[in-house]
Amino acid sequence: MEQGLILLAEACPTVPPEALTEIPIGRRDALILSLRERTFGPWIVGLATCLGCGEQMELTISVANILHGQEGNSSLPMALDLLGYEVRFCLPCSRDLFAAVATGSPEAAYHCLIEKSVLIAYHKKQRVSAHDLPADVIEAMAESMLKSDPQADVQLEIICSSCGHKFQQTFDIISFFWKEIDSRARRTLREVDHLARAYGWSEAEILSLSSWRRQCYLDILNFKRANK
């Protein structure tokens, strides 16, 4: 989860760290998805395993298809009036998620998130706490949150090309982007290692080359090796 804040800080370099933790989850994910697009381009290639036949397939997704508009942008409170309960609540942010995870159990985390999201609640004009809200009201709150912040839960609709089975898969931009950065970093280190051994250049000298020039030298080395 810390990874989310690290990527968010990169996406919003002028926003102070404390303010980053208050950005609603869907807005956070939209900002990170835009950063991903600027870094690696508009296409995302991933793998999915069919829940019907177990076949692994490659998925190509356009960032534009999963990037929602400005929903979830607002930290303004939402209101719900149901079964005699009036509730004002807000979308959860990273700070709320940290608190929820720290509770240590899914049950406690769920209640913690509800508690953090509820700003004020009344039952028949009497002030009540988040604990007193019935399950139906909490469920309606959760639905309303999801509707106003769809970026917080991106579901991919997948049809298996082998068996035709249709299923949904959650797309988590943070873990996906993190893995991409990690594998790019490892690849760059391998490139530095090859070039340093072949030409005797320092790491700083190699990293100061554009990726295009670095690739040209690597192609020359590969050509030489293939024609030995």
Site residues (vs Zn ion, CB under 5 A): 50, 52-53, 55, 160, 162-163, 165
Half-sphere exposure at residue 67, Cβ-oriented, CA atoms within 13 angstroms = 15
- CA–CA separation, 147 and 71 (whole Å): 9
The residues, ordered by sequence, that sit 6+ positions from 87 with a Cβ below 8 Å of its Cβ are 79, 80, 81, 118, 120, 121, 122, 133, 137, 141
Closer residue to Zn ion in complex, CB, 78/160: 160
Nearer residue to Zn ion within complex by CB, 101 or 159: 159
Task: Work out how close the CB of 159 gets to Zn ion at its nearest, in angstroms, rounded to a whole number.
Answer: 9
Q: What is the DSSP string of 25-63?
A: HHHHHHHHHHHHHHHH-SEEEEEEE-TTT--EEEEEEEH
Q: What are phi and psi of 47, to 5 degrees?
A: -115, 145
C-alpha–C-alpha distance, residues 207 and 197, integer Å: 14
Which of 9, 53 has the CB closer to Zn ion? 53
Smallest gap from residue 45 Cβ to Zn ion (A): 19
Q: Is the dihedral of CA 207, 2, 16, 141 positive or negative?
A: positive
Q: Which of 77, 74, 118, 81 is nearest to 96 (CA)?
A: 118
- Paired with 44 in beta bridges are 61
Residue 56 Cβ, how far from Zn ion at the closest point, in Å?
Answer: 10
Nearest of 100, 101, 122 to residue 111 by alpha carbon: 100
Nearer to Zn ion, 3 or 155 (CB): 155
Nearest by Cα to 48 from 166, 174, 146, 183: 166
- Choice between 75 and 162, CB closer to Zn ion: 162
Output 50 or 112, the one with its CB closest to Zn ion: 50
Shortest distance (Å) from residue 61 CB to Zn ion: 18
- Judged by beta carbon, residue 99 or residue 158, the one nearer Zn ion is 158
CB of residue 49 to Zn ion, shortest distance in Å: 9
Minimum distance, C-beta of residue 193 to Zn ion, in the bound complex (Å): 40
Minimum distance from residue 164 beta carbon to Zn ion (Å): 7
